[in-house]
Chain A
Amino acid sequence: MTSIKSKLAEFKASSQPTIKELKFIITRIKKSPLSIVGLAILTFYIAIALLAPVIAPPVPPPMGKEDPFIVWKDLNIPAINRTVPHPPDATHPFGTTEESYDLYYGCIWGTITAFKVGLMVIVLSLIIGLVTGAIAGYYGGIVDEVLMRFTDMVIAVPGLVLCMALVVALPPQFVINLGFTQLTVGLSKLDRVLLALVLVGWPSYTRVIRGEILKVRVEDYVEAARAAGCSDLRVMTKHILPNTIYPILIMASLDTGAIVLTAAALSFLGLGAPSGYADWGQLISLSRNYIYANLSNPAANWWVWLIPGIFIFTFVLGWNLLGDAFRDILDPTLRRR
């Protein structure tokens, strides 16, 4: 019995720095109310995304589709009335769009799409940006020159326009010839949007990471690490990257919101997800003919743009506030003050 107790005490003592760190992070977050709001909003959205099949159960065909991400259409409404959006009522808590798509279902399942788009694009561009930026910053020379001029080229074109061009230009199928076998990669419409956003997004990460690395790699502690016998890879991953990653993580968190906005814009323009797919931008786009209702009351059809709009707005806001929280959590020089 005593041995268990002493072991527990020992465990506590040796893991104390980690616990201390955690406690510190929590107190820091507590002190900034905005980051609490950000975290609360995102927790709320994560809950919605996880509970989507429960709070908005998929409707079986013929009203719904096999794919739960396709919003169901209310076929009980007489065909003649379907073209007009219907205000919120008991069967449609958020109302319907043009062609009687259910807004409530679309908004709930659209949360999953928003997370998918935001996180996948950011993670992919972050990985590409980290690798290329690290190579360019650490080795410099001709590699740096070529990479930087390439990023200049991408950044020079307006992002949304380049995105649109890429979505249209990307083929629905890639055939990769591996020599011994052929690999066919199919790209759905949403995949193409993701890919386009990544291709447009990574250069800004590359630039920021390169700049940070240029700043850090001449620091004495990097030289000290090399003098202690660390390899290039170790110096890079253990000494340079941890000192450069914070601004990039904050940037990524802010960008996650922005990416969702761009994706929504693409969807609104009809280039994003396939028709009827649960996506906030698409939901507004579905009833774009009714956003402006009539002369006497322009906002009569308020639900068609206001409800998905609130979803997009709060989601983006949540990520932006989280960016602040990230800075508090991650920056070691702000720790334990």
Chain B
Amino acid sequence: MGNLVEVQDLVLRFYTYEGVVKALEGINLQIKEEETLGVVGETGCGKTMTGLSILGITPPPGKIESGKVLFKSKYGKTLNLLAQNERILRHIRGSDISMIFQEPGAALNPVYTVENQIAEAILHHRRKELLEKVLAQIEKDGTEKKIYKKMLENPKSLIIKVFTKIPIIGRQSRLKKEVRKEVVNILREMEIGDPERVANMYPHELSGGMQQRVVIAMALACNPTLLIADEPTTSLDVTVQAQILDLIRRLKKTFKSSVLYITHDMGVIAEVCDRVAVMYAGHICEIAEVKELFRNPAHPYTKALLESIPKPGEEFKSISGMVPNLINPPLGCRFHPRCPFAKPICAEEMPKLKEVKQEQFVACHLY
């Protein structure tokens, strides 16, 4: 199976008043087709920034210094996303790659109903497809057909734009009805009871789990090939978390998409991922298949992470030391001040990712 995304030597820096924050330093990743890649690490190690860099929406003052993000688009072309202009990126965002955010309550715009929020992505990326559907519905030739033909041929027509904005008339358009059908369908797909009613509700009227389902529905509305899930279940309680994980796994199969799953929860990783990348302070220290990683963790940081999972009946363990300041990170391996196996060379030279076993890459001087 081929690579859907290939991130090569990605460097992201933030130029702040206090200094240059080296958020990502040479990230190398591959996401295969129809696979779930987990990204795990402590807060502030660059997990979310990796996801945002792939979409090209790193927040200011962040700047991508170098590197490539090769992405195989829906039409089979491979593009370097970092070299594309904004227009092409806008077509890819939402339609080829979409993102689920951590706080479902914050990721929904409070002033729009659920229907409007999901419809936005659909109308933006699938307008043509839906208009063709509408045209096929209208049998007789007449003004109605002419109007929709014009909408299809000239999507920027001002008169039509203004006309569809009039509240009650706008809702009567066949396109809006078709979009509504799509929205209700996708909500039903998310296992939301009574989708017709939920579509008319505002985000604050929904529970956290429901909100997250709506956010996932927004992300999946245009059948993306890559779904970036940024801690989608962190703010939910455990039973809802299990439902959402189930949902993501099932949807991944039906939509045949790849998932980049960002989390700090090892349990979730074990549950949903095929492969895992462990990140520390802007570096990837280990990439391995999920079973291999849990059975034989190679990097000392991965070992420490696995040991710090709380287990009943045992004393709680944590990694000694602090997450380094990314303005002045330690020289050499960034983990060496906290590493129990550190050697002199660790403080001098940055280790490179090496394949130690089949499909297991580690960046450590011990190997």
A interface residue numbers (CB < 8 A to B): 11, 14-18, 20, 140, 218-221, 223-231, 238-239, 242-243, 332-333, 335-336
Contact = CB atoms under 8 A, between A and B. Distances in A.
Contacts of B59: 218, 223
A33 to B, nearest CB: 27
A-B pairs, 6 with minimum CB distance: A229-B94, A228-B94, A220-B106, A229-B93, A227-B99, A220-B107
Given A17-B200, A18-B167, A333 B172 contact: no
Contact of B55 (A11, A227, A243, A336): A227
B90 interface: yes
B101 A223 contact: yes
Contact of B121 (A140, A229, A333): A229
Given A18-B167, A335-B202, A227 B111 contact: no
Nearest to A219: B106
Interface residues of B, number: 41
B245 interface: no
Contacts of A15: 167-168, 171-172
Nearest to A18: B167
B101 A333 contact: no
Given A15-B172, A18-B171, A228-B120, A332 B90 contact: no
Contact of B57 (A227, A231, A238, A243): A227
Interface in B198-232: 200, 202, 204-205, 215, 218
B218 to A, nearest CB: 7
A335 B111 CA distance: 10
A100 to B, nearest CB: 51
A242 B111 contact: yes
A219 B94 CA distance: 18
B93 A14 contact: no
A335 to B, nearest CB: 7
20 contacts: A11-B172, A15-B167, A20-B200, A221-B109, A224-B99, A226-B57, A227-B94, A227-B99, A228-B93, A228-B98, A228-B120, A228-B121, A228-B218, A229-B89, A229-B124, A230-B124, A238-B120, A243-B110, A243-B111, A333-B110
B103 interface: yes
A239 to B, nearest CB: 6
Interface in B149-207: 167-168, 171-172, 177, 180, 200, 202, 204-205
A74 B304 CA distance: 97
B91 interface: yes
A231 B57 CA distance: 12
Given A220-B102, A223-B59, A228-B120, 14 more contacts: A11-B172, A14-B177, A14-B180, A15-B168, A15-B171, A18-B168, A221-B108, A227-B55, A227-B99, A229-B95, A230-B120, A231-B90, A239-B109, A336-B202
B135 interface: no
B125 interface: yes
A18 B200 CA distance: 10
A225 B59 CA distance: 13
A53 B176 CA distance: 46
A231 B89 CA distance: 10
Nearest to A226: B57
Contacts of A224: 99, 101, 107-108, 215, 218
